Amino acid sequence: MTTGEIHGPGATIHPVRRIGTAVVKWLLGDVPVLEREPGSAALVAVVCTAAAVGWWLSERHALRGGPMVSASWRMLVHGGLPLAVLGGWELRLAWRAGRLKAGAALAAVAGILLLLMPIVMRASKEGAHTITASPGERIILPVFIGAVLLLSGLRALGARLADWGIGLGDWRWWLPHHGVLLLALLPIIAGVTCMVPALAHYYPMYKPARTSFDALVMSHVALAVDLAGWEFLFRGFLLFGIARRGDAVLAMFLQALPFFLLHSPKPEIEMISSFFGAVLAARFCLRARSFLPLWVIHVSIITTVGFTAYWLRHR
**Radius of gyration from C-alpha coordinates of the chain:** 21
Longest pairwise C-alpha distance within the chain: 80
pLDDT value of residue 126: 86
Q: How does pLDDT run across 91-143, given as a tens digit for each residue?
A: 999 999 998 999 999 999 999 999 999 999 998 888 888 899 899 999 999 99
pLDDT value of residue 1: 38
179 burial (CB, 10 Å; 0-12 / 13-18 / 19+) is exposed
Q: How does pLDDT run across 62-80, given as a tens digit for each residue?
A: 888 889 999 999 999 999 9
Domain boundaries, the chain: 33-159, 162-315
Q: Are 94 and 158 in contact (CB under 8 A)?
A: yes
Of 81, 233, 230, the residue nearest 164 (C-alpha)? 233
Q: How does pLDDT run across 212-224, given as a tens digit for each residue?
A: 999 999 999 999 9
Beta carbons within 8 Å of 127's beta carbon, 6+ residues apart = 120, 121
Is the pTM for the entire model greater than 0.95? no
HSE of 194 in the Cβ direction (CA atoms, 13 Å)?
10
Neighbours of 297 (CB within 10 A): 21
Q: Are 273 and 161 in contact (CB under 8 A)?
A: no
